[in-house]
Amino acid sequence: MGVAVEVSGLTKSFGSQNIWSDVTLTLPPGEISVLLGPSGTGKSVFLKSLVGLLKPEKGSIVISDTDIVTCGEHKLYEIRKLFGVLFQDGALFGSMNLFDNIAFPLREHTTKSESEVKSIVLEKMDMVGLQGAEGKLPGEISGGMRKRAGLARALVLDPEIILFDEPDSGLDPVRVAYLNQLIVDLNAQIDATFLIVTHDIGTARTVPDNLGLLFRRNLVMFGPREQLLTSQEPVVRQFLNGRREGPIGMSEEKDVAQVEAEIAALEARGGDSHNGVGPKGASGGEAVPPQLTPTEGLPERRGERRRQERVARMLHEFDETTQAAIRKSLPEHLLAQSDAGAFQPTRGAGGRHWAPEPDATPMGSTATAVLPRQDGEG
């Protein structure tokens, strides 16, 4: 099973430029999480911080009881072995064929024999659907195949945490759909903890167990996908619907009066009929569509089962709309236990896996993290 990643109060800047502040969330073990956000909000910076490539100024990242923000280099090197990373462009070596690209981590970090390396590489290539392509160079294959080769390389050390940095970038909608199914199938097979950074709303609505959004240098929300997909937070609605009206501008910031005028005009036209009316996968359908399930013949996702038990414990802490959406995904015995009060209330942001204001909400109720006011907002 994958391991939990517990992030608390994380702040990162480059010089005087603050990227994000006080980010708090927990990636539950073995579950699939997705992080959304406008371009330039520091999503890739967040991934690099999780593997210790960048050091935040404040906060902690605890993995297997180790805070990688403060630990020594030797311990950080050991923790990094828990990770596999799929980079945006696959990051393959152009002069190596796919076999050697995928074998590279094994040859670099283990003492396995070449026969063992071959067995592992061919197994991972089979898992991502690249059988028979071992001898091809990266320049001889499609973008989708390069992504899958990069994913196979991320899998060869059997990681417990896999990070996906915009896996859909450069792919057409059909290939994105195939990749999404592959991610769900892999999670069912290896039960690792997945975090996907993406702009694709179709992916965000159908793949993850948990969903979050970065905006204005803060984590707006992170929790069960139903919470964000049913949210009435203006920036969440704007992003999920892929429309111009709302807090997100071309350079991210908008004057508050402009936002209010745009929202008023949108409501006058009837508002959003449902989540998903814009481009990049935000195209109609239910506000909370069914979640993708593993391909027939594969095992059930153990992360999904653990997630069901977790949200059943939190069920009555959410608003009515989120509760109604979550209820559709829970088996009857967990609903019965939740409604009978069999579960103790969760406590703190780590239990809810979202980012509320500290101590702002009485136990038994729920709230969304409030966006900080910007300079000049009245």
The pLDDT tens digits of the residues spanning 85-101 come to 998 777 889 899 999 99
CA atoms within 13 A on the CB side of 5: 30
pTM reported for the whole predicted model: 0.84
- Which parts of the chain register pLDDT below 50? 274-285, 349-378
CATH assignment of 5-215, given 2.40.440.10, 3.40.50.720, 3.40.190.10, 3.40.50.300?
3.40.50.300
- How much is the pLDDT for 253? 61
Return the domain boundaries, the chain. Answer: 5-215
Nearest Cα to Cα of residue 335 among 327, 325, 323, 343? 327
- How much is the pLDDT for 123? 95
> What pLDDT, in 10s, does the model give residues 254-310?
666 666 666 676 566 655 554 444 444 444 445 789 999 999 999 999 999 999 999
- How much is the pLDDT for 103? 95
What the block records as the tokens of 100 is: 């050697």
Write the burial class of residue 13 (CB in 10 Å: 0-12 exposed, 13-18 middle, 19+ buried): middle
Radius of gyration, alpha carbons of the chain: 21
